Chains A and B, each alone.
Chain A
């Protein structure tokens, strides 16, 4: 499973949130992110990458080659690196890198080593502070911003805490403090992403992102919210992952023509309408996944493109 990915992929992921805040906006007092022009909810690419990283760190704990460089919270690195020798026999204390002739070669060896050991560098890339160009790694996997399929209505919920932080507060406020929570009653979000195979398999530019890593990515996209429960998030879940697998590294069809095949519809009492259609004007707002329908147009799929569902 360690052969680098040689086929281009595009993917569409649907996830939803019920009574939670999928991604707070630091500019708006942690309100859910909104596109101010359309009132559609947003979730930034980096928020999703964070969850993917956390998921991989969780399931691949103790496993060399799957470490996460951009760690969150207490550094998870412990003394579990005993399998190094097995994985990378060429890297040992006796390694004589000083003998390598050129700086560039050295930097490349360094980059390669980082890619081999850190799953997130292999997948998303990283910037290393070397003077040589090879110090910058572009990963094959790229996410866009996630956007809710319809406009969302963020609610501000005031809550009370029956305790105060400081004694002064306790005296002044009678031992109680108020707080705020922002929630989205319901939102279905769609995000589109790309896996550029040459950035995985190219002899010099590739990070070695493998078929196994790809499977892990799909697994992470499907389950990342299951391990990200918190008071703020409410109930979040991945609902549908649709993958377009091209036969070749460069791709066999235009990305947008594939994305356009995946459509979201509103459903109400058996009636299915396009989103924004005037027929839905007096429908109640969507509050659950079943209020939506996702269809994939499988008619005349371009040759060399395979549609997979997870």
Chain B
């Protein structure tokens, strides 16, 4: 049950895990981010998306953006005690006391075609058939419907999307260097095993990155 989705946006940031304080994006979308976009359109616990191929349609270009960010997370312990006390006194983060100025090296003007399929999981009930889910996904993607607005890495970079119907040609590509070795790239995070990251060697040939299956031998932990 394969689908093809065209996604694009003005900016994107697929943060490299080794450079996430001052964020540096990967050169292209990761399979994990692509899966997130598909899930934003349609997902149920009964299915799992697998990204098969990523087509890169635009030249890879970067831009730097520096912003004032907050260095603290909301403390669940404080929230729990405030909840017990029944008051919000002392809750809240004063942003100017927790200031971090961070730069992000983000991609500009990106467009991709994601080729993906899904498999049924152990949580599929008798009413879940692949045909039903594929029909739901196709209907939603074709009509521009989504569960929540998909994004290109981070939520400030919203993604536009369009379904590429079966037999329909791929969108026009202006990619200037169709062959590249992007090195080791995040494949996805294994949520079943303590959020373990897995990496694969991302190589683009003719503008296409073949994504190995998540449990393939070439995927490193």
Chain A residues contacting B79 (CB-CB under 8 Å) are: 110, 113-114, 128
Within 60-83 of B, Cβ neighbours of A (below 8 Å) are at: 63-70, 73-77, 79-80, 83
C-alpha spacing A251/B148, complex, angstroms: 10
Question: In the complex the two chains form, is B63's CB within 8 Å of A27's CB?
Answer: no
Most chain A CB atoms below 10 A, which of B75, B79, B103: B79
Docked pose: A85 CA to B86 CA in angstroms: 8
Check A128–B148 contact: CB distance below 8 A.
no
Instruction: Decide if B144 is an interface residue (CB 8 Å cutoff).
Output: yes
B74 A251 Cβ-Cβ under 8 A: no
Size of chain B's interface in residues, with CB distance under 8 A? 49
Residues of B within 8 A of A143 (CB): 156
Q: Is B155 among interface residues, defined by CB-CB distance under 8 A?
A: yes
Task: Count A-B pairs with CB separation below 8 Å.
Answer: 157
* Nearest chain B CB to A189 CB, angstrom units: 14
In residues 36-57 of chain A, which contact B (Cβ within 8 Å)?
Answer: 36-37, 42, 44-46, 50
**Main secondary structure on A side of the interface with B:** mixed
A284 adjacent to chain B (CB < 8 Å):
no
Q: Select B76's contact among A107, A138, A140, A192, beta carbons within 8 Å.
A: A107
Range of interface residues on chain A?
Answer: 35 or more
Chain A: which residue is nearest B90 at the CB level?
A: A77
Q: Which of A64-72, A209-217, A235-243 faces chain B?
A: A64-72
Contact B66 A27 (CB under 8 A): yes
A84, chain B: closest CB distance, angstroms:
5
- Whether A253 sits at the interface, judged by CB under 8 Å, is yes
The 8 A CB mask of A78-117 against B (1 = contact, 0 = none) is 0101001100100111010100000000110110011001
How long is the Cα–Cα vector from A32 to B89 in the complex, in angstroms? 37
Residues of B with C-beta under 8 A to A121: 74
Contacting pair B162 A254 (CB below 8 A): yes
Q: Is A142's beta carbon under 8 Å from chain B? A: yes
Using Cβ atoms and an 8 Å threshold, which residues of chain A touch B67? Answer: 26, 44, 46
B66 contact set on A, CB distance < 8 A: 25-27
A278 within 8 A of B: no
Which A residue sits closest to B145, measured CB to CB? A250
Contacts of B94 in A (CB 8 A): 71-75
Instruction: Name the B residues within 8 Å of A130 (CB-CB).
Output: 76
Within 8 A of B (CB), among A122-140: 126-130, 135, 138, 140
Tell me if B51 is interfacial: C-beta within 8 Å of chain A: no
Stretch from A14-22, A157-165, A193-201, A262-270 that touches the partner: A193-201
Q: In the complex the two chains form, is B149's CB within 8 Å of A255's CB?
A: yes
Q: Is B55's CB within 8 Å of the partner chain A? A: no
User: Please, what's the 1-or-0 string for B80-105, where 1 marks a CB less than 8 Å from any CB in chain A?
Assistant: 10011111111111111000010100
- Asked whether B197 is an interface residue with its Cβ less than 8 Å from the other chain, the reply is no
User: Within 8 Å CB of B144, what residues of A?
Assistant: 251, 253-257
B128 at the interface (CB under 8 A from A): no
Q: Which residue of A lies closest to B64 (CB)?
A: A27
* B-chain residues with CB within 8 Å of residue A276 when the two chains form the complex: none
> Are A251 and B143 in contact, with the CB atoms below 8 A?
yes
> Hey, which chain A residues are within 8 Å of B76, CB to CB?
107, 110, 128-130, 135
Q: Is B120 an interface residue (CB 8 A)?
A: no
Per the bound structure, the CA–CA distance linking A86 and B143 in Å amounts to 43
Contact call A142/B63, Cβ cutoff below 8 A: no
CB distance from A164 to the nearest CB of B (A): 26
**B residues less than 8 Å from A218 (CB atoms):** none
For residue A25, give the distance in angstroms from its CB to the closest CB of chain B: 7
Within the complex, the shortest CB–CB distance from B51 to chain A, in Å, comes to: 21
Residues of B within 8 A of A72 (CB): 94-96
Cross-interface CB contact of B146 among A42, A50, A70, A251, cutoff 8 Å: A251
Given A127-B73, A256-B160; 10 other pairs, CB 8 A cutoff: A67-B91, A79-B89, A84-B86, A84-B87, A93-B85, A110-B83, A117-B91, A128-B75, A129-B73, A196-B148
5 sample A-B contacts, Cβ–Cβ < 8 Å, listed by A number: A79-B89, A110-B83, A129-B74, A192-B158, A253-B143
Interface residues of A (CB under 8 A from B): 25-27, 33, 35-37, 42, 44-46, 50, 67-75, 77, 79, 81, 84-85, 88, 91-93, 95, 97, 106-107, 109-110, 113-114, 117-118, 121, 126-130, 135, 138, 140, 142-145, 147, 192, 194, 196, 198-199, 248, 250-257
